[in-house]
Amino acid sequence: MRVRKVPDAEIKIFNHPLVIKDSQQYREAHYKLFQNQNPIHLEIGMGKGGFILQKAIENPHLNFIGLEKDASILYRALAKISPEIKNVRFILADANKITEIFDDEISVLYLNFSDPWPKNRHHQRRLTNLTFLKKYQLILKKKAVIIFKTDNKSFFDYSLEQFTIGGFKVIEKSLNLHQKQITQIMTEYEKKFHQKKLPIYYLKLSVN
Ligand SMILES: C[S@@+](CC[C@H](N)C(=O)[O-])C[C@H]1O[C@@H](n2cnc3c(N)ncnc32)[C@H](O)[C@@H]1O
C-alpha cells in the first residue's frame, strides 16, 4: 500500500488515545485496555483500517486491535475513527514483534490481503511464511481462528501449503468468496479487486 508520507506521523500517532504505546507491558492482559473480558480480534497489516473499524462498530461485544508497521498508513486509519467507537485499539509495529507484544490472548487473527512478495527470495517476508505461523501459534488462544484473504492465487496456494505444514486446519475455503453474494465486511483492497471482478481467495483456519 502506497500513501503519501505524513510528516511526524509517529509523533502524531503516539499522541492518539487509541494507540497502544507500551504494548509489551500488556502481554497477556490486553483486555485491561478495554476494561472487559471480551474476546480480542487482531488484524495484522490493517492498512487504512476500514475493515477493522467497521467490524468494531458492528460488534460492540468484541475487542479489536489493528497492527500496522507503516506510521503514515496508521495515521490515515486514525483519521477515520469516530468518538463512539470504544472497542478498538492500534499498535504501530512490525508483525515480526508480535510474540513480544502478545501472549496467547487472541481469539481471531485476520490476514487481509497481506503483501504477497512474489519473488522467491522474499518469501520470508510473507506474513504466511512458516516462521510467522509459528509466532501466530503462540499468540492465539485455544480454539482461535485465522481468517485469510487474498486476490493472489500463487500467494493463496503458498499460504495454504504453509498453514498445512504449520498444523492449522482448514475449516472453510473459497476460491471466489463473493461469487454469489457479499456476506462479509470488505477491506479497502478487497473492494478494489471486487470492483474489477477479480476472485477473492479465502480461508478460515483453526488452531489444532
Ligand atoms: C496490501 S496492504 C492491505 C491492507 C488492508 N489489510 C486491506 O486489505 O485493505 C498490506 C498492509 O500490510 C502492512 N504490512 C506489511 N507487512 C507488515 C508487517 N510485517 N507488519 C505489519 N504490517 C505489515 C503494509 O504496511 C500494508 O498497510
pLDDT-based confidence at 28, cuts 50/70/90?
A: confident
Is 0.75 topped by the overall pTM?
Answer: yes
Q: At what angle do helices 153-165 and 130-139 cross, to 10 degrees?
A: 60
Is the separation of the CB atoms in 175 and 200 below 8 Å? no
Given 3-state DSSP classes, what are the helix, strand and coil percentages for the chain, each rounded to the nearest 5? Answer: 35, 25, 40
* Ligand 1 centroid, distance to 58 Cα (angstroms): 22
Structural domains of the chain, with CATH: 34-207 (3.40.50.150)
pLDDT-based confidence at 198, cuts 50/70/90?
A: very high
Instruction: Please write the tens of the pLDDT for every residue from 138-149.
Output: 999 999 999 999
Q: Confirm or reject: Cβ of 132 under 6 Å from ligand 1.
A: no
Instruction: Please write the tens of the pLDDT for every residue from 75-110.
Output: 999 999 988 899 999 999 999 999 999 999 999 999
* Ligand 1 centroid, distance to 160 Cα (angstroms): 19
Q: Residue with the nearest Cα to atom 12 of ligand 1?
A: 45
Task: Give the residue numbers annotated as catalytic, written as ranges.
Answer: 115
* Ligand 1 centroid, distance to 112 Cα (angstroms): 8
Q: Give the position of cell 482448514.
A: 170
pLDDT value of position 82: 87
Q: Which atom of ligand 1 is nearest to the CA of 46?
A: 6
DSSP 19: B
Q: Residue with the nearest Cα to atom 14 of ligand 1?
A: 45
| Over residues 176-180, mean pLDDT | 91
